[in-house]
Structures are given as C-alpha cells and as structure tokens.
Amino acid sequence: MFPILHLAGLGERKLPDHLFRLPVPVISVGNLTWGGNGKTPMVELLARSFVEEGYSPLILTRGYGSADEAKMLQRQLQGTSTKIGVGADRVATALRFLEQYGFTYSPATFEKLFSEENTEILASNDPIGVAILDDGMQHLSVRRDLEIVMVNALMPWGNHHLLPLGSLREPLTALCRADVLVIHHVDLVHSKDIDTLKSTIRKANKSAPIFFTKMTPIYFFPSRDLSTELPLMAVENATVLCLSGIGCADSFIQRIERMGPRFVDHLNFSDHHSFEMQDLEMVRTRLQALESKFDSKPIVVVTEKDYDRAPEVLERLKQYEVLVLCSRLQFLEYKGTTEDRFKKIVREYLCRRLDVNMSALS
C-alpha cells in the first residue's frame, strides 16, 4: 500500500537541504492523489528517452504490494540499459546499484541531451547516468534535481480530503514543490475542465510549466503469448469485459469503448488488487451472463499492470480470450506546450545540477 504521509507544513516550502544527495542527477515523478495519474508511464517515457540519447537510467521504486509497476517496467524496458532498483530504502538500493555498475557524470554529460548528436547505444552493464524516483514526491530521503508532479484530469483531487478519508496524500499547497506539472488524461475531459484545473494549480504554484498528456493505445497481446501483437481492431464489434485493478478504471474503459466494440462491461477492483480464486468465480459468472445475452463468447481485456500483477491467475480463464492492452504516454500540443519543450526543461534542470557541482569544485 502507499505510505500515508500527510507531511504537515511541507507543502508550503521547498524540501530541506539535508536530504541524501546521489552522485548522479535525480528526477522525481510523483503525484498528490492515489493512483491513475500516469506516474509510471511517465517514468517509462523518461527512461526510454534517456536510453535513446545514450544515458543509462536507474529507476528507483518502492515496489509496494505485488510490485506490479516494477514488474511492468522490467518487462517494458527489457533489453535496454535501464536498471530497476526495488526496495523501500531507496538510498540503500541506489548505492548498491551505483557500487555494482558505477556512474558517469561530467560537465559534458547532459549538454547534448535530447539532441540529434547522441546516437550511442548503451549495454545493460553500462554505468548509471541518471536516477528516476518512481512515486517520489512523498519519498523524503533522496534530494532531487527535478520534481515532476502528475495530475489526473478525470479526478484530480478526489473528494479533497487527505488519506484515509480521501485520496489526497498531501494538501494542494504541496504543488508549490513541483518544478514541472503534467495534467494527464486531458483527452477524456472538456477544455473548460482543464482551464479550471489549471486555475486551481496556479493558486498553489504560479510559475511551474504545465504540460498535457494522454495514454495512447498501441496494440493488444494475448495473455498466453507476449510475442504476438494484435491490432486495436481486435475488439471491434466484440462483447468485451474490462477487468481491472488500477487507480483510474474510467480512463481504461473509455479508451476501450472508443475502439468500436459491440458492448463493454466492466469489473473494477481497487488499485493494486491481487486477483484470487473468488474473484475469478465472479469474473466467470459475469462472462457467462454476457455470453448468454449476446450469444457469443466475450473477450476479457486487462491493462499491462493487471497482467504483470497476476499472469498466472489470468491463465485460469482458459475458455475465454484474454487480451492485454499496451499503451504509451503521449504529450499533446496544447496551448503552446510540446514534448520537445518538456525535454528542453529536463535538460536545463540537469545542466543546472552540473553548474552547481562545478561551482563547488572551483
């Protein structure tokens, strides 16, 4: 489960200077509310971007519950130079990886980041060049050079109550700590709602740039065969049961509905839910009812996170086709913001760390 940290008063000031400083730049990707904010897809996008530019990233994730997000990142980034460290003590985890692989960090390291000049492909054992804190906003042991905060446009602040009465992990004033804010799922809400959301954010943070993203479905793969890619039209005119245990099931369901199925039903469980046998009995009962109503076998569709959490459980639905939806985070060009501008800001913050280090040495 997520740690319940209300962090009274911390939202009104920057983080203290005594946090542990890793020898490589650190990017934190976090959120204020429980689940569905696009945090892990952003971590994946950053890691892929660094790999493509010739930098070996280390992802530090707590791995709570069934560690489904860590498993998903490991599968998605397999074969790249990305390292993934799982553990509640992220300082100890980071130091262990840095000792094992070493690190590279020099004044020229990030100056050409995200430029066309970087074409080097790194191997899995190459030294670490940058660390990414997955779910890092409330993790107050590692000092970060860039704080990215994700906001779910579908349900940005829950019921405006802190845990356990609501989904807020900190007060809205904590948004002042963000260097960059990203509003996610903007394609599923009206533009006026986005404007209202921006207005709320600006009350807490008047200057941080705001970007806009969505999840773009790419393909399905059968749960029994990860190597097979099926087109999105695989569910067209089909009866579909969306089975999920994620933070924002509505976004998942809406995207499936846009693919043109005949009928979409859904069974939603809590975020990080571990599917058990009694859950499968419920699923089978629902599937049998759909099959009887529409006189055809329904298709079960799950998210990547649900698959990586319990692939062996999904195998028990042998008499039905189970498809896994693969999606990637995509920046939207909205009111002048672009992915290129986002990457430019990332480069500027990491180079700022270089400037500070070089000044200390001079």
d(CA 14, CA 28): 14
Give the pLDDT mean for 43-52: 95
Residue with tokens 């904010």: 37
Single out the residue of 178, 181, 215 nearest to residue 198, CA to CA: 181
Q: How confident is the model over 157-213, as pLDDT tens digits?
A: 988 889 888 889 999 999 999 999 999 999 999 999 999 999 999 999 999 999 999
Q: Which residue has the higher pLDDT, 172 or 9?
A: 172
pLDDT of 221 strictly over 80: yes
CA–CA distances in Å: residue 93 to residues 2, 18, 22, 104, 239: 19, 19, 11, 18, 45
Percent of the chain with pLDDT over 90: 66
Pick from 61, 51, 70: nearest CA to 126: 51
Predicted local confidence at residue 113, as pLDDT: 67
User: Residue range 298-314: average pLDDT?
Assistant: 91
- Determine what percent of the chain is predicted with pLDDT higher than 70: 86
Q: Which two tokens stand for residue 37?
A: 């904010």
CA distance 361 to 140: 27
Strands 210-222 and 321-331: antiparallel
Phi/psi at 46 (5° precision): -60, -45
Q: Is the pLDDT of residue 6 over 70?
A: no
Concatenating the DSSP letter of every residue in 52-111 gives HTT--EEEEE---TT-HHHHHHHHHTTTSS-EEEE-S-HHHHHHHHHHHH-B---TTTTT
Output the six-digit token pair for 140. Answer: 């107050």
Q: What is the Cα–Cα distance from 57 to 146, expressed in whole angstroms?
A: 15
- Residues 123/125/127/132 CA torsion (nearest 10 deg): 90
Query: Tens digits of per-residue pLDDT, 37-46?
Result: 999 999 999 9
Out of 50-59, 89-98, 127-136, 310-319, least confident range: 310-319
- The encoded tokens of residue 174 equal 């904590």
Please tell me the predicted confidence (pLDDT) of residue 114.
63
- Pairing relationship of beta strands 146-152 and 180-184 according to DSSP bridges: parallel
Q: Which residues contact 258 (CB under 8 A, 6 or more apart)?
A: none
Distance CA 85, CA 92 (A): 10
Which range among 173-177, 245-249, 287-291 shows the weakest confidence by mean pLDDT? 245-249
Q: What is the pLDDT of residue 18?
A: 65
- The angle that helices 68-76 and 39-52 make with each other, rounded to 10 degrees, is 30
| Mean pLDDT over each residue of the chain, to the nearest integer | 87
Over residues 125-152, the mean pLDDT reads: 92
**Per-residue pLDDT at 3:** 28
